[in-house]
Chains A and B, each alone.
Chain A
Amino acid sequence: MADDWLQLFPEKVRALLKCLPLPLLGMVEEIRVREGRPLEINYSGKYHFLRANGSVTQRPEEAYRPDREDTHRLLDLISNHSLYTMEEELRKGFITIPGGHRIGLAGRTVLSGGGVEHLRDITSFNVRIAREVPGVADKVLPYLLDKGRQRMMHTLILSPPQHGKTTLLRDIARQISLGDLGKREGGRPGMKVGIVDERSEIAGSRRGIPAFDVGPRTDILDGCPKAEGMMMMIRSLSPDVLIADEIGRPEDAEAVTEALHAGISVVASAHGKEVIELARRPGLGGLLEQKMFERYVILHRSEAGLSFRVLDGQKRGLLLISPGDRLGGDLHA
């Protein structure tokens, strides 16, 4: 599992990446390939260029520049030699490959009726490596379960991109699905979890089977639009907890409201730094105004590590966990 993403790159780039020291390779978060421009990698929040001999540098003029052959080969490999299966993904501008790794794309857009119809001449790739970090939710989870420990509270996870929302969601799904009955006295039973995985990032499903451990009582609707998927889940799979990534559009908010009123706990994530900021966004403002969520978790990742801030439904701070006292394990994706 560890370096399966290396297989994705054309031979030349793969050879370069393999020159990186192993611990560093394990920390790589993003690899940016741009045709004719320096090859860039990102680990622990910092960007570096890669030289042709595999060492890192800060000077762009020394860096290796992927050529047309490299980008063509990369696109061929990530689309499994079948670009036509990716039409919907090309419209949205990213492809998620088995393993949950997401590849953002840029190139020339082809318009049809004013909307983006297709991407062609794809020359920029942003490969985000997904990793699972079991136990990352250990510290926060107790604050997200209500007193009787029988129910998950409605939770919204907030952070800017690249701070670990999806990783946290994945671990929450795993832990509540597993439960801890039998491990210790008075443990909580596992709950039925439904994941609406629009971008196939949470579970990283391959042919419907999750690549990541998301718990034994978890059902995944893979590649399904969130709003529709949440409704399908409610109607057909009777989950106790619904999990969705990156809500933001008005129809998402509507589906969340529906789920809350159906007695199902919702754990969702959204881009943002502060709860106040979120209230101004057209899609989510309503949800906040009606105090739909009972807990907010704000993530922040710095060089020192990951910090959590947990707020209650009235937006009062409950808890701050800073990097120094975390349980270990670095967050990615």
Chain B
Amino acid sequence: MLKLFGAVLIVLAGTLAGLQFAKQYADRPRHIRGLIAALQRLETEIMYGFTPLPEAMRRIGIQSKEPLKTLFIKTAEEMSPPHDRSAQDAIQRAMDSHWKSTALKGTEKEILRQLSCTLGTSDRSNQSTHIALALQQLKQEESVAREDQGKYEKLSKSLGLLLGALIVILIF
């Protein structure tokens, strides 16, 4: 009886782990999409709204969904008094503390980091060029992420279940 209970537990754990992996694959394109939308909004704020960066970041944060929401709001906080950090520092700090809660990977982090170096330090047309570049890179990442999702999402779900089953068989 106890054995059976243990076996069920192992299969359940395997399935859950598989689902977790699958979720990662499903979330990544969604988060990249969110990031793309956020950067597009940032471009509008800069080009047409003349909104200062802290205010723009805050607005984008409010409009975005979690986990990007916290990322942008944290950036806005870092840029406002009393911290008053530069865009580069603020984004870096926000990424350091909140990156783990997103399904995003190192490539996206690097794209954001590169963008943050130029954010707020040049005129509008220059800002727009840099944001457009980042958007283009992100879109590329998005299609890669979607491909991965198609390939691995179902796979990891079933793999989790099967792995659990395999362990059970081996034990018995």
Contact = CB atoms under 8 A, between A and B. Distances in A.
B123 A87 contact: yes
A84 B122 CA distance: 6
A83 B124 CA distance: 8
Interface string B77-94: 001010010110010000
A82 B120 CA distance: 4
B170 to A, nearest CB: 58
Interface in A49-106: 73, 76-77, 79-85, 87, 90
Interface of B: 46, 50-54, 56, 79, 81, 84, 86-87, 90, 120-124, 126-127
A77 B120 CA distance: 11
B54 A73 contact: no
29 contacts: A7-B84, A73-B86, A76-B86, A76-B121, A79-B120, A80-B52, A81-B53, A81-B54, A81-B79, A81-B86, A81-B87, A81-B120, A82-B51, A82-B52, A82-B53, A82-B54, A82-B120, A83-B121, A83-B122, A84-B46, A84-B120, A84-B122, A84-B123, A84-B124, A84-B126, A85-B51, A85-B52, A87-B124, A118-B123
A256 to B, nearest CB: 30
A77, A83, A84: residue with the most chain B Cβ atoms closer than 10 Å = A84
A200 to B, nearest CB: 15
Contacts of A84: 46, 50, 120, 122-124, 126-127
Contacts of A76: 86, 120-121
B125 to A, nearest CB: 9
A81 B56 CA distance: 11
B84 A85 contact: no
A314 B79 CA distance: 56
Interface string A1-19: 0000001000000000000
Contacts of A85: 50-52
Interface in A279-310: none
B117 to A, nearest CB: 12
A83 B126 CA distance: 11
A8 to B, nearest CB: 10
